[in-house]
Every structure is written in C-alpha cells, then in structure tokens.
Structure 1
C-alpha cells in the first residue's frame, strides 16, 4: 500500500510483536517507520513520549500516526506536549486506565506511578479515528466512547474483536488500510 504521508507506527507496551497487525502493516507499506522499543524505563510515560518525538523529528513531510493499545495513550500525551503538524491518527483499541486489566499486563496503578495519568483531556490537534471493540478486556466500549469524545476522534465500532491483537485472532487487519487511506486523503483537519 502506498500513502502520501509517512505512517509512524506507535506500538503499545509490548512493543513489536511478530504476528501483530501493526507488524504486518509495517511490512506492506512503502512510506513507514516505527517507534523502536525502549531498552530502559520501558513503562515510563515520559521516556515513551520522547521516543515518539525522536522518530517524528526524523520524518520529513506529512505524518499519519498508527497507534494500538497504550500507544493511543502515548499519542494523546505526545500531542499535549509537542506541536508538530500531524495529518491524522488511527487509534486502535485504547485501554481504559480506570479498568481492571488481566494479570499479564502492568496494572493501571503501576502506569499511574510512571506518569501515565492524568490523561490529556483536550481534543487532539489533528484528525483522528478511534477504532474500538465491544468486548475488549482492557476497555469497555463506553470507555472508548468517552476517549473519542474527549480527543475529538471519529469513533468506529469494530464489533467483538477483543483487544485487536494476536491473542484475539488478529495478525493482519485489513480495515487498518481503509482507515489509513481515509486519513491520508484528508486535505483539512475537518475532513472527518
């Protein structure tokens, strides 16, 4: 798939997972790069935001952010701190910091201690699509609706797709292409 903008993939806390839809997407796009995993301070929100900024500084021209899970929260924090123009963002399956997460994930309390809250409560300064599941174990659809309203994102109900990760049956996720094309075709911030 060819885009006019460079797609910057922002993974969640597990970083790069071989069978994840973001990894498949990265292998198919021509104009793409990914935020690399941190080797230290992996749960530190500030370190994650600075890592995104380092990648953005390397990109010339338009950028579309493609975030999954905690990567969505990272994008919101980044947008509250930096002013680089972004063409748009796909925010897939953002987690709810108020939910009880399964034991294989860091707890929301652990993330709070690492600076993840308070979450930015203002609209993102660029078009965004928030794609949410009706049976995500990290966030209810109601929580996703709240995040979309807060960030000014177009909300898309994906149905019962779990957390949209390999454990939920997603390797490839063709709908990501549709959303990226929609963002790539935006000429103004109001196009969504």
Structure 2
C-alpha cells in the first residue's frame, strides 16, 4: 500500500552513518534518503538540483527531514525551487553555522546562509551545546526561516554520537505531517 505522504531524509556533510537516527529511520520506517553525488565536497547548487530531481520523481506530498547541512539545503532550495508546494513540512535538526570562521573549506560555498522565510511549516530542533552552531545563531536562523523551535537540551550535534537511538521525539514531531 502506498502512503499518501513520503518522507525524504536529507543528511548533512559526509552523510549519516548507521548510528544516526536518520539511518535508523530509513531502515526501520522506510523513509527515503536523498543520495548526493559528492558527500565530501558538497556543492549547494548540485545538492539543490538533486533534491528537485528526487522530489519530482514522485507525485506524493513530501515531508523533508534534514540534519545539519541538510537544513542549509532546505533553506537554499526553498529560495529557488518552483516545487515547494509539494512540501507539507520540514524538520530541521541541528542547522550548522556555515558562516563561522572555523568552517571547513569544503563548506565555504554554503555561505551566505539563506535566511528567507520557508514557504511551508517547519520545526527547528536545536541543541544547547552543538559544536557547529551556537544556540543564539540557531535561534536566529529558525526565526528567519519562520520555524517553530524545539530545544533539545545539551545533546551535541544531534547525531550518532548524541545517543538518540531511534529518536522517538523526532518521530513525534513529524507525525502530524505524515498522518
């Protein structure tokens, strides 16, 4: 039976290894990972074009579930795509601050951070001790995007090292969009 809503997983830089909640959601819940041609040296335009390509490959309404650089992908894509009406909502987990001075050179083409208001509902999940983004910067991005904010407490970058397992709290956040 085909569901009426599909969920696209948008990993960040270097992809999500098996310990990540995104990988667990893919294997246990059947969500679809958007594969990128280059996880090492990600180009924003290439990643945006790939998201459009995958989105257009299926007519169902879509929920975007982004982690880290995947959040920056959603914001950049939403500014340029003609297909944003297909998105029911976006979960933006641990957006990185790619404008920091210590950002690796592989991510410099993700500057400036796109800050336009998203044309669909969104929830930003922020950690108070994310090593790649201060809580203040994360809150500002979320405000610019028009995202509701969920504060996760001190949980690092909300990745495999954060010990989230299947991350039931995250699943609950997207449940209304999937129903």
Post-superposition shift, 1:99?
3.1
Computed over aligned residues only, the root mean square deviation of the Cα atoms, in angstroms, reads 2.0
Distance 1:40 1:159, change over 3 A: closer
The 2-side partners of 1:16 and 1:144 are apart by: 21
Structure 1 gap segments, 5+ residues each? 186-192
- TM-score normalised over the length of structure 1: 0.84
Q: SS at 2:92's partner residue? A: strand
**1:145 counterpart = 2:139:** yes
The unaligned stretches of length 5 or more in structure 2 are none
Question: Structure 1 segments of 4 or more deviating over 4 A?
Answer: none
What are the within-5 Å matches in structure 2 for residues 9-158 of structure 1? 9-30=9-30, 32-39=31-38, 42-84=41-83, 85=85, 86-99=87-100, 101=102, 107=104, 109-112=105-108, 115-158=109-152
Q: Could you tell me how far apart the structure 2 residues matched to 1:55 and 1:162 are?
A: 30
TM-score by length of 2: 0.89
Instruction: Identify the structure with the greater helix proportion.
Output: 2
| Partner SS for 1:156 | strand
Tell whether 2:2 aligns with 1:6. Answer: no
| Contact residue 12 and residue 69 of structure 2 kept, 8 A | yes
Instruction: Report how many aligned residue pairs link the two structures.
Output: 176
- After TM superposition, give the deviation of residue 155 of structure 1 in Å: 0.7
Q: Deviations over 1:24-56 (max 9, x none)?
A: 0112224x2111131487321111111111111
Q: In 2 relative to 1, CA 171–40 (structure 1 residues): closer, same or farther, beyond 3 Å? A: closer
Contact 1:165 1:171 in 2 (8 A): no
Structure 2 partner of 1:190: none
| Distance of 2:22 and 2:129 partners within structure 1 | 20
Distance 2:19 2:40 in 1: 25
